[in-house]
């Protein structure tokens, strides 16, 4: 067979031992807090029936779903006309009935409906699994990446929002990442659209408003006019440009604008409730920020909207979420409200790397390498290695009695902390030589003292 130059598909990644350990540290930290907050883990298959996913992510999303080719003679039932006109889109449903998970939310909705009789509601679940998207790969955007989601379904209590903000705070405190949790409410945005009569321009409006700090009030208004937002609407909403102070005074200004919109006032009430609770409860390290320009997933969320940004780093959002009504309706279970948050693993990784926040304990590399000087020496080394492992020390015996230099190079390259030397002399005396590879210090240690000599 011809020899192939190995490579991997674009948009995918190999992870080295160091990278896996660092990613595992983030997963473990998030998982630990998910569990403390009472979220329980589920896992769903990597591929779902294509029909489960199709139509849930819009037309663009449908295109980006990876479809799996049916096994066997998949063309047998294909329509001749479709084949002849090479109609790729029409052929799909004939030759593919499965597709890779595109996100964790739709499979979760499917899970809830399918297992509704085994589930106790409110159902709090977390899920940390990869998803796949046939997006054009670019810096920081991959075709395979992990999502880490916590959602609760079957409760419309705003205490869930309070809990999820506390959860974000707890995780990023554990990770030592200073963050702002941006918070908004879809109902407020609906209210603004209502009073200003710009329901069709709301996104243009919020996108422009979002630039206020950068380009100033006049330029923001200019952009709004360019986008076709009438001056009368801008005038109605202009108090938004000068909202200042704590959440109470900001919400007071907002209330003045929205006083004729029932849904808008409901949104303010919800924001007030959550802010007041968080104020009383306190956050460990995060800042909770009212951000009226936050409109992610506008067509999806119906209440709270969250987004997390790391402070002091240029790095988009590292988490997000919100409340949605009727997630499970598409699968036949109506009236189940839900709210959830997501952690952006890849970006959190980049933030920790950039801020040098990965703790030393992440390193799971070898602690002790026993140099191999021959059969009898290696036998003793294996005995001691077994004892060390029983004491939780990561260690190994070099597999061959290669030249000392080669074995020490191996220790160097693997950044081993200690090298244990048992030669002929050491075998006789019952003392080994332990070299600290960081300081270069060497000391002689009795065999049965070794397990106490490794910190």
Residues annotated in a binding site for L-histidine: 103-105, 133, 147, 151, 296, 300-301
Residue 403 interacts with a second copy (CB under 8 A): yes or no: no
* Binding test (CB under 8 A) with a second copy, winner from 330, 355, 362, 404: 330
Distance CA 343, CA 164 (A): 12
Sheet strands side by side (includes 368-371): 395-397, 368-371, 418-421, 431-436, 442-446
Beta carbon of residue 379, minimum distance to a second copy (angstroms, whole number): 6
Give which of 235, 236, 253 is closest to 244, Cα–Cα: 253
Segment 74 to 93, residues that bind a second copy, using CB under 8 A: 74-76, 78, 83-84, 86-88, 91-92
# of chain residues touching a second copy (CB under 8 A)? 110
Segment 155 to 194, residues that bind a second copy, using CB under 8 A: 155, 157, 159-160, 162-163, 166, 170
Segment 200 to 219, residues that bind a second copy, using CB under 8 A: none
**By CB under 8 A, which span of 176-184, 195-203, 243-251, 328-336 interacts with a second copy?**
328-336
Nearer to a second copy, 196 or 384 (CB): 384
* Binding test (CB under 8 A) with a second copy, winner from 1, 81, 256, 438: 1
Beta carbon of residue 157, minimum distance to a second copy (angstroms, whole number): 4
Decide: helix, strand or coil at residue 128.
Answer: strand
Nearer to a second copy, 46 or 317 (CB): 46
Beta carbon of residue 102, minimum distance to a second copy (angstroms, whole number): 13
Residue 386 interacts with a second copy (CB under 8 A): yes or no: yes
- 381: CB partners within 8 A, 6+ apart: 370, 371, 372, 397, 420, 422
* Binding test (CB under 8 A) with a second copy, winner from 93, 197, 252, 281: 281
CA 336 to each of CA 55, 180, 342: distance values in angstroms, whole numbers, following the listed order: 20, 30, 19
Neighbours of 272 (CB within 10 A): 17
* Binding test (CB under 8 A) with a second copy, winner from 59, 60, 118, 360: 118
Give which of 159, 173, 137, 139 is closest to 29, Cα–Cα: 173
Residue 248 interacts with a second copy (CB under 8 A): yes or no: no
Beta carbon of residue 105, minimum distance to a second copy (angstroms, whole number): 14
Instruction: Record the tokens describing residue 113, joined without a space.
Output: 């409906």
Nearer to a second copy, 79 or 235 (CB): 79
Cis peptide bond prior to 338, omega within 30° of 0 = no
Give which of 168, 79, 123 is closest to 328, Cα–Cα: 123
Helices (H), 115-185: 159-174
Q: Please enumerate, by residue number, every residue annotated as part of a binding site.
A: 103-105, 133, 147, 151, 296, 300-301
Segment 133 to 162, residues that bind a second copy, using CB under 8 A: 134, 144, 152, 155, 157, 159-160, 162
**By CB under 8 A, which span of 202-210, 290-298, 344-352, 375-383 interacts with a second copy?**
375-383
Nearer to a second copy, 100 or 240 (CB): 100
Segment 30 to 49, residues that bind a second copy, using CB under 8 A: 33, 35-38, 40-49
**By CB under 8 A, which span of 223-231, 232-240, 247-255, 360-368 interacts with a second copy?**
360-368
CA 235 to chain centre: 40
Radius of gyration of the chain (CA): 29
Nearer to a second copy, 160 or 206 (CB): 160
Where b means 16+ CB within 10 Å and e means fewer, 197-208 reads ebeebbebbbeb
Give which of 258, 127, 107 is closest to 196, Cα–Cα: 258
* Binding test (CB under 8 A) with a second copy, winner from 394, 437, 445, 453: 394
Distance CA 211, CA 226 (A): 15
CA-angle at 159, arms to 156 and 162, nearest 5°: 125
């Amino acid at each position: 067979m011809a020899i192939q130059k190995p490579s991997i598909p674009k948009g995918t990644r190999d992870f080295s031992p160091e990278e896996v350990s660092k990613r595992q540290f983030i997963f473990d930290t998030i998982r630990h807090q998910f569990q403390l907050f009472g979220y329980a883990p589920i896992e769903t298959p990597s591929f779902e029936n294509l029909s489960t996913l199709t139509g849930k992510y819009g037309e663009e999303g449908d295109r980006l779903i990876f479809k799996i080719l049916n096994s066997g003679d998949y063309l047998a039932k294909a329509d001749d006309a479709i084949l002849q006109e090479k109609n790729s889109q029409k052929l799909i449903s004939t030759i593919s009935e499965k597709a890779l998970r595109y996100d964790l939310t739709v499979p979760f909705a499917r899970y809830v409906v399918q297992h509704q009789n085994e589930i106790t509601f409110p159902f709090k679940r977390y899920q940390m699994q990869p998803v796949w998207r046939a997006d054009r790969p670019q810096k920081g955007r991959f075709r395979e990446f992990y999502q880490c989601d916590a959602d609760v379904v079957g409760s419309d209590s705003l205490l869930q929002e309070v809990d999820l903000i506390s959860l974000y705070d707890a995780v990023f405190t554990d990770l030592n990442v200073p963050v702002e949790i941006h918070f908004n409410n879809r109902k407020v945005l609906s209210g603004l659209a209502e009073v200003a009569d710009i329901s069709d321009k709301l996104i243009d409006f919020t996108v422009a408003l979002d630039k206020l700090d950068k380009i100033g009030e006049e330029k923001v208004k200019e952009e709004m006019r360019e986008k076709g937002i009438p001056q009368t609407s801008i005038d109605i909403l202009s108090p938004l440009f000068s909202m200042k102070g704590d959440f109470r005074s900001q919400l007071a200004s907002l209330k003045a604008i929205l006083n004729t919109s029932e849904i808008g006032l409901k949104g303010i009430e919800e924001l007030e409730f959550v802010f007041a609770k968080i104020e009383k409860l306190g956050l460990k390290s995060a800042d909770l920020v009212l951000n009226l320009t936050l409109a992610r997933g506008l067509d999806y969320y119906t209440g709270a909207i969250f987004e997390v940004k790391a402070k002091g780093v240029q790095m988009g959002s590292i988490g997000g979420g919100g409340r949605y009504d009727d997630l499970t309706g598409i699968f036949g279970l109506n009236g189940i409200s839900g709210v959830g948050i997501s952690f952006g693993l890849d970006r959190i990784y980049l933030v920790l790397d950039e801020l040098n926040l990965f703790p030393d304990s992440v390193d799971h590399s070898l602690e002790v390498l026993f140099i191999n000087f021959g059969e009898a020496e290696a036998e003793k080394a294996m005995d001691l290695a077994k004892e060390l492992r029983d004491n939780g020390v990561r260690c190994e015996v070099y597999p061959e009695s290669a030249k000392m230099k080669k074995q020490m190079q191996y220790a160097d390259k693997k950044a081993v902390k200690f090298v244990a030397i048992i030669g002929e002399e050491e075998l006789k005396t019952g003392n080994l030589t332990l070299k600290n590879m960081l300081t270069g210090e060497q000391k002689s240690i009795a065999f049965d003292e070794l397990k106490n000599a490794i910190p």
